[in-house]
Amino acid sequence: MAITATVLQLRFNTLLQFIAYVVLFRSLLQLRTSEVQAAPVKITLNTLTNCTNGTTFSPTDGELPISCCPEPDVNLNVSVVDFVPKGNGRLRVRKALQCLSGEELTNYTEKLTKGYELLRNLPADDPRSLMQQRRIHCAYCTGSFTHDGLSSADNFTIDIHFNWLFLPWHRIFLYFHERILQTLLGDENFTLHFWNFDNGDDATNSTQGAGCFTPGHFVPEIYNDNSTSTFDPDRANRTLLPDIPVDLSIPGTVLLVNITVRSVEEAVPRNRAAMQYAMATGTVPRDYFGIPLKYGDVRPINTDAGSMEVQPHSSMHRWLGAAMVLANTSAGDPIFYTFHANFDRLWHSWMGIGNNSDLQPTDPDWLDAEFLFWDENKILTRVKVSDVLSIDDLGYSYEKVNDAFWISWPIANFSSLFLAFRCSCVCLVILCDASSSLGEGSDLPCPTITIWPMLPHSHRKVQSSSGSNIRNAINCRKRQAEAVLGRRLKSPT
Ligand code: C2O
């Protein structure tokens, strides 16, 4: 009895101690959070006038100093106006470039090349020129801007990459880019069509209704004619080779010189895996959007990015090579805007998949984050993230394309692979073998898996070529996909 009482007493003391620690820890935590008041990132006129030289990371030369502040060329002695979307109540359709043909293609080529000629020829102090747009992108992504009142020496610099500002910022950037082209061309119907690089499906799928369903994974010809203004000579040589698709799964760890040229056969399954991983595996807002970036946060780094920003986005920049690799030069190449239009489309399309719309941040520090941009009339305009969440309001929509290409592929989501194993005779043939040509597959040979779902459930034959255990074969596939994607996948459930 006495012993039990002592034990109880001891436990009671431990409990008291534990409570004391929790209270202490919580008050420390409160101290810490009250030091840094969370608030949205705000780019103000003050931010712009305090712009300093930034840095960018070059895979070949390391950290490079970068100068891309608006001043002295662009006059900052102006007032700021709040954004009003100019959709004009009409919806223009941004279309997939690979499906433009005939007269429509001829007219578009003419307009687009004329537009970039005009953009390239604007005077240096015009904030709408292609050079200044490149520099604006550069200033926003090289730590040239510092959170107002904080010091760049303490790394309180801003980057709109690698965090939840990435998608909305680029949407606004493109919106103004398109408006500027419309204004210079004197055609308010001009529309920035997109490079549908994520579709590598050769089979035109007519069951999906109206839209564009041919593969879009080659560099669009309209941007690859070296005699026109849409071309930039500073791209990797592989972009000029015929029949070479983009590689959407280049890990950040691969040296630029080691980027391999892959055939359609090699690239398609890799791209599909990267797309499915980027678009269909997130379970919390951070997965797709990247870390929250608020006032007073230090400059984010690449591992803070959301799934789509890493692969395919960074992979695309790296695959295009040269000027596209560096944050300070990339937006000087017209192709930047068409491939970013596809990322904007992918975000829009992601919102429509499953319950993804529940995963879009609702934090006021995201919604109220604000940026400054020069509009089509050179007016410095303040835009908030919440202003651009509906592309309808912005006056455009996207042509339907073959997203089913990557949505329906089971390789990245291994639980769906297991579901497939359990699926009943309705499925005709399930080809779990789809990953056998995942690039690095040749270094990592996995047993072939064949399922015969036509047989009655109890007799269904699940075989692996080497006769080895089916789970080993699947784990092997998982490692193979991980090697390709450069990251770990969820375990089969
Ligand atoms: Cu601001 Cu594709 O990057």
Task: State percent of the chain over pLDDT 70.
Answer: 74
Atom of ligand 1 nearest to the CA of 161: 1
- What is the 373 CA–ligand 1 centroid distance (Å)? 16
Max mean pLDDT among 26-35, 98-107, 351-360 falls in 98-107
The pLDDT score that the predictor gives to residue 464 is 39
pLDDT band at 204 (very low <50, low <70, confident <90, very high): low
Residue 207 has a CB neighbour count (10 Å cut-off) of 7
The pLDDT score that the predictor gives to residue 220 is 98
The strand pair at 449-452 and 461-464 is best described as: antiparallel
The pLDDT score that the predictor gives to residue 333 is 98
Atom of ligand 1 nearest to the CA of 173: 1
Q: What is the C-alpha to C-alpha distance for residues 244 and 219, in angstroms, rounded to an integer?
A: 8
Lowest mean pLDDT among 150-164, 174-188, 359-373, 385-399: 150-164
Q: Is 8 helix (H, G, I), strand (E, B) or coil?
A: helix
Exposure string over 283-296, b if 16+ CB within 10 A, otherwise e: eebbebbbbbbbbe
- What is the 418 CA–ligand 1 centroid distance (Å)? 36
Atom of ligand 1 nearest to the CA of 339: 2
Residue range 266-274: average pLDDT?
92
pLDDT band at 437 (very low <50, low <70, confident <90, very high): very low
Atom of ligand 1 nearest to the CA of 317: 2
pLDDT band at 476 (very low <50, low <70, confident <90, very high): low
Q: What is the pLDDT of residues 215-269, one digit of tens each?
A: 999 999 999 999 999 999 999 999 999 999 999 999 888 888 889 899 999 999 8
> In the 8-state DSSP scheme, what is residue 203?
S
- What is the 4 CA–ligand 1 centroid distance (Å)? 66
Q: Are residues 62 and 362 in contact, defined by beta-carbon separation less than 8 angstroms?
A: no
Residue range 82-110: average pLDDT?
93
pLDDT band at 8 (very low <50, low <70, confident <90, very high): very low
Atom of ligand 1 nearest to the CA of 343: 2
The pLDDT score that the predictor gives to residue 64 is 83
Residue at 359: amino acid letter: L
- What is the 173 CA–ligand 1 centroid distance (Å)? 10
Bridge partners (DSSP) of residue 461 are 452
Lowest mean pLDDT among 43-47, 277-281, 370-374, 426-430: 426-430
pLDDT band at 96 (very low <50, low <70, confident <90, very high): very high
User: pLDDT at residue 10 above 90?
Assistant: no
User: pLDDT at residue 290 above 60?
Assistant: yes
User: pLDDT at residue 486 above 80?
Assistant: no
Q: What is the C-alpha to C-alpha distance for residues 405 and 354, in angstroms, rounded to an integer?
A: 16
Reported as type and span, the H/E element at residue 265 is helix 264-280
pLDDT band at 155 (very low <50, low <70, confident <90, very high): confident
Residue range 290-301: average pLDDT?
94
Q: How many Cα atoms within 13 Å fall on the side-chain side of residue 39?
A: 11
- What is the 245 CA–ligand 1 centroid distance (Å)? 20
Residue at 248: amino acid letter: L
- What is the 274 CA–ligand 1 centroid distance (Å)? 18
pLDDT band at 425 (very low <50, low <70, confident <90, very high): very low
- Rounded to 10 degrees, the C-alpha dihedral 271/275/277/280 comes to -150
- What is the 343 CA–ligand 1 centroid distance (Å)? 10
Neighbouring residues of 169: CB distance < 8 A, sequence distance ≥ 6: 140, 160, 371
Q: How many Cα atoms within 13 Å fall on the side-chain side of residue 11?
A: 6
- What is the 177 CA–ligand 1 centroid distance (Å)? 14
Token pair of 310 as six digits: 């890493």
Residue range 58-72: average pLDDT?
85
Residue range 50-65: average pLDDT?
84
Atom of ligand 1 nearest to the CA of 313: 2
The pLDDT score that the predictor gives to residue 479 is 64
Residue range 453-476: average pLDDT?
43
The pLDDT score that the predictor gives to residue 434 is 29
Token pair of 230 as six digits: 């849409």
The pLDDT score that the predictor gives to residue 89 is 74
- What is the 178 CA–ligand 1 centroid distance (Å)? 16
Reported as type and span, the H/E element at residue 235 is none
User: pLDDT at residue 470 above 80?
Assistant: no
User: pLDDT at residue 55 above 90?
Assistant: no
Token pair of 331 as six digits: 């937006």
pLDDT band at 77 (very low <50, low <70, confident <90, very high): very high
The pLDDT score that the predictor gives to residue 31 is 39
Residue range 128-135: average pLDDT?
97
User: pLDDT at residue 442 above 50?
Assistant: no
Residue range 275-299: average pLDDT?
93
Residue at 247: amino acid letter: D
Q: What is the C-alpha to C-alpha distance for residues 187 and 182, in angstroms, rounded to an integer?
A: 5
Q: What is the C-alpha to C-alpha distance for residues 93 and 88, in angstroms, rounded to an integer?
A: 14
Lowest mean pLDDT among 114-123, 172-181, 273-282: 273-282
Q: What is the C-alpha to C-alpha distance for residues 169 and 369, in angstroms, rounded to an integer?
A: 10
Measured CA angle at 468 (ends 462, 471), to 5 deg: 65
- What is the 347 CA–ligand 1 centroid distance (Å)? 14
Residue range 79-89: average pLDDT?
88
Q: What is the C-alpha to C-alpha distance for residues 39 and 366, in angstroms, rounded to an integer?
A: 9
Q: What are the pocket residues of ligand 1 if the criterion is a CB atom closer than 6 Å to any ligand atom? A: 137, 141, 161, 170, 313, 317, 330, 340
pLDDT band at 86 (very low <50, low <70, confident <90, very high): confident
Enter the pTM of the model: 0.78
Residue range 327-336: average pLDDT?
95
Q: How many Cα atoms within 13 Å fall on the side-chain side of residue 455?
A: 9
Q: Residue written as tokens 């005699």? A: 227
Bridge partners (DSSP) of residue 146 are 157
The pLDDT score that the predictor gives to residue 3 is 47
- What is the 327 CA–ligand 1 centroid distance (Å)? 7
Phi, psi of 463 (to 5 degrees): -120, 150
Neighbouring residues of 126: CB distance < 8 A, sequence distance ≥ 6: 132, 378
Average pLDDT score, the chain: 81
The pLDDT score that the predictor gives to residue 107 is 98
